[in-house]
Structure 1
Amino acid sequence: MPTLDLELLRSFAAVVSHHSFAAAAVHLGRTQSAITQQMQRLEEQVGHALFAKQGRQKRLTEHGERLLTYAHHLLALNDEALRSLRQGELEGNLRIGAPHDVAETMLPLLLTEVARTSPLLQLDIHIGRSPYLMTSLKSGEVDMIISNRADPQFDGVVLRNSPTVWLCAASYVHDPSKPVPLIMADGPSIFRRIGHEALDAAGVAWTPRYTSSSLIGIKAALRAGLGVTARGVEQLDAGLRVLGAGDGMPRLPDLAYYLYVRSHVVNPVTRQVFETLKKHLRLPRTDMPA
């Protein structure tokens, strides 16, 4: 059995709604002769005349009237199917913020999932420190952030719980009898806070040795053997090692990393991506090295 051509049906419906071949041609961006040829092809498909002359005008025949009803149903069904299938193909811009600590670990996994589920989105990536990223999220400068700070004012979901460890250079010689030389971030830092709290609670003396505004600066000081820092285990690499209880260092708490958006966000792109990530993104836990 022949198949009705939806393109021909759309032109047919346009001819009827605009009351002439010429007006339909203008509406569809085609020539009048092209519309005429399409109607001839459609008549060949159905095997009946669809139009009859009435003076200088054309009117629908009985078969034309019947076909018009089916045309409206088929075109509506086609358009509904396309809208449904394209709902996941979000378009627009999404601004994502992440701290330096996860820029090479969690962030790539998140971006992979966003690109897989919404390939048409343009992504703007902002790398910075968690306190400033949270301020940017609150002010609307970014749409979504990864952060290791719990904050109930945002809508959030835990991406991963990650161990915090004491890191030093692989060649660093630790002397438990001396105050621990600390390498820490300046300004607000959750790692600095939990490091100080753990040392104070354990009665371990410490001294500030080096501060930096960036993770790059902290790792440079570590590799230079200037001291010890508290950081996520994700930062451990071949040039660093972990200090533990055997070195007289107290245990540090795990940190949760959250994905946040503003509460009651109405931007459909932000909301749909966030809800999709909540359902599908599960980041593996990074365990302590053996």
Structure 2
Amino acid sequence: MLRELRTFVAVARHGTFAAAGMHIGLTQSAVSSQIKNLEQALGVRLFDRTGRQATLNAAGIRALPLAREMFELFSQMSIPQDPDEYRGEMRIGAIASAQTGFLPQALLRLRRAAPAVDAKLVPGVSLDLLSQVDAGDLDIAILIQPPFELPKELCVQVLETEPFVLIVPLDVDGDDPLTLLAEQPQVRYDRSSFGGRQVTRFLREQRIEVRVALELDELDAIVKFVESGLGVSLIPRAGLWLERDVKLRVIPLGDLTFHREVVLLMRRSQRDLPLHRLFTRCLSKADSPDENSVLPSP
């Protein structure tokens, strides 16, 4: 019945039998047959069908977290206790600043501790990575702390806390950040991103109306546009720009400083798995000079 449960979870996620079949490699008729078998075995209908859409009914909503839990329990039956015995793929999602920051050293440590693990890096923005962890498409992800309550099945661990600063072109005079934000055009940190929402809230609290010259989500690209003179920007102190001699001024916000938290996200049921615990240690020791400090004890 695990096959039918897997199909049930896929239909619940993708909304139609056809879309679910495309993602799990089944025809629409095979998906329909498996859902019918599952409903007959349980004695309840799980979906309300309207045209091509398949919407979870009350019984389906109740069954979905139980189905996911059964899958997780089944998958744990074959999990080794020692990380160096692991085989196969670990799917790791990461935002851009983590990929160019502490993640490379962490992945190197992971490879040394668990050489048979194939780490697959999946880039993305925070909201997409969160959705992929929630759906089971990623094992773990590094992203910005969401500005809303997470589902109870997910948990986070704070990895870094990054202060926001104002970056200003060299030819722009003045040191008061609020005045500069009010008077200068802004290269805007994407308002749909988690970090960009923090900027929006800050500007609203300070009652500042800004002129947006450009809006994007990539921090190092924002820095390049500010260097070119396109405008000023509120961004966190994170990214490759901190490692080079930038042609701009960095102005702290002083008492108005707010922060972006970079977190490690995983399913709560998996946080105590040996490989997940090892990867967490690899991240926490990424800046340590002791290369052996993250290796599991013999």
Same fold by TM-score greater than 0.5: yes
1:222 maps to which residue? 226
Alpha-carbon contact 1:209-1:227 (below 8 Å) kept: yes
1:158 maps to which residue? 158
Alpha-carbon contact 1:98-1:126 (below 8 Å) kept: yes
Is residue 198 of structure 1 aligned with residue 198 of structure 2? no
- Structure 1's unaligned 5+ residue stretches are 1-83, 286-290
1:66 maps to which residue? none
Q: Among all aligned residue pairs of Structure 1 and Structure 2, give the percentage whose two residues are the same amino acid.
A: 21
1:275 maps to which residue? 277
1:232 maps to which residue? 236
Matching residue's letter, 1:193 = R
Alpha-carbon contact 1:137-1:143 (below 8 Å) kept: yes
Alpha-carbon contact 2:106-2:286 (below 8 Å) kept: no
1:256 maps to which residue? 261
Residues 1:275 and 1:192: Cα distance change in structure 2 (over 3 Å): same
Alpha-carbon contact 1:160-1:284 (below 8 Å) kept: no
Residues 1:167 and 1:214: Cα distance change in structure 2 (over 3 Å): same
TM-score, normalising length from structure 1? 0.57
Alpha-carbon contact 1:192-1:230 (below 8 Å) kept: no
After superposition, give the CA deviation of every residue in 1:62-86 in whole Å (9 maximum; x if it has no partner).
xxxxxxxxxxxxxxxxxxxxxx996
Shift of 1:173: 0.8
Matching residue's letter, 1:242 = V
Residues 1:186 and 1:160: Cα distance change in structure 2 (over 3 Å): closer
CA distance in 2, matches of 1:273, 1:91: 11
From 167, 188, 193, the equivalent of 1:184 is 188
Is residue 243 of structure 1 aligned with residue 243 of structure 2? no
Matching residue's letter, 1:156 = V
CA distance in 2, matches of 1:130, 1:92: 25
Shift of 1:110: 2.3
Matching residue's letter, 2:129 = L
CA distance in 1, matches of 2:210, 2:173: 12
Shift of 1:195: 1.8
Shift of 1:258: 1.1
Is residue 138 of structure 1 aligned with residue 143 of structure 2? no
CA distance in 2, matches of 1:152, 1:168: 35
Shift of 1:105: 0.7
After superposition, give the CA deviation of every residue in 1:150-181 in whole Å (9 maximum; x if it has no partner).
45431322212222222234x24145365342
Residues 1:116 and 1:107: Cα distance change in structure 2 (over 3 Å): same
2:3 maps to which residue? none
Is residue 167 of structure 1 aligned with residue 163 of structure 2? no
Larger mean CA deviation between 217-226 and 115-124 belongs to 217-226
Shift of 1:252: 3.0
The total of aligned residue pairs comes to 195
After superposition, give the CA deviation of every residue in 1:27-71 in whole Å (9 maximum; x if it has no partner).
xxxxxxxxxxxxxxxxxxxxxxxxxxxxxxxxxxxxxxxxxxxxx
After superposition, give the CA deviation of every residue in 1:8-36 in whole Å (9 maximum; x if it has no partner).
xxxxxxxxxxxxxxxxxxxxxxxxxxxxx
Shift of 1:143: 1.4
Matching residue's letter, 1:262 = R
CA distance in 2, matches of 1:182, 1:283: 37
Where 2:257 maps in the other structure, the secondary structure is coil
CA distance in 2, matches of 1:243, 1:141: 40
Shift of 1:185: 3.9
Residues 1:168 and 1:97: Cα distance change in structure 2 (over 3 Å): farther
Residues 1:230 and 1:109: Cα distance change in structure 2 (over 3 Å): farther
Alpha-carbon contact 1:165-1:231 (below 8 Å) kept: yes
1:210 maps to which residue? 214
1:59 maps to which residue? none
TM-score, normalising length from structure 2? 0.56
Where 1:163 maps in the other structure, the secondary structure is strand
Larger mean CA deviation between 209-218 and 276-285 belongs to 276-285
TM-align CA RMSD: 3.0
Residues 1:197 and 1:174: Cα distance change in structure 2 (over 3 Å): farther
Residues 1:201 and 1:213: Cα distance change in structure 2 (over 3 Å): closer
